[in-house]
Amino acid sequence: MNTKLLSFDFATEEESELLSEQENKNKRGINVMVLDDVLEERMVCLKKWKIGSGEVYCLMTHWNSMVEKRGLKSGEEIQVWSFRKDDEDEAHRLCLALVKLATC
C-alpha cells in the first residue's frame, strides 16, 4: 500500500517509529489483525519500506495464504479499511479489513 495513495496514515506515531526501526538488517514489523470479506480473522505482519522517494506498507506473514484462500487475483482491486480494537494482549490494536471490489 503506497502511503501517498492512503486517505490518511493509519499508524500511530509509536507504530511508525517502530516500523522505521531495523533488526539485523531487516525492517521491524508489527502484528495486525486482518479481517477478510467473509469475516475471517488472521494475524499478519505489517512492515513499512522506503521505495524511491515514497514509502509503502506491506502485509507479510500469512498474506499469501489469505490471498489464495480468498481467491484474489493479480490486478483485482481491494479496499483496505483500518480500525482499532481493544483486546486482551494490547489496547487499541491496529486492525485492517479487506473488501474485494466487485467487477463490472
Query: Can you give the CATH number for the domain in which 96 is found?
Result: 2.40.330
Give the three cell numbers for residue 101: 471490489
Stated pTM of the model? 0.78
Closest among 61, 12, 18, 66 to 41, alpha carbons compared: 66
pLDDT at position 90 is: 65
pLDDT at position 24 is: 66
Residues of the chain with pLDDT under 70: 23-24, 89-91, 103-104
Q: In which domain, by residue range, is 58 found?
A: 3-100
The CA distance from 77 to 3, in Å, is 16
Say how many domains are in the chain.
1
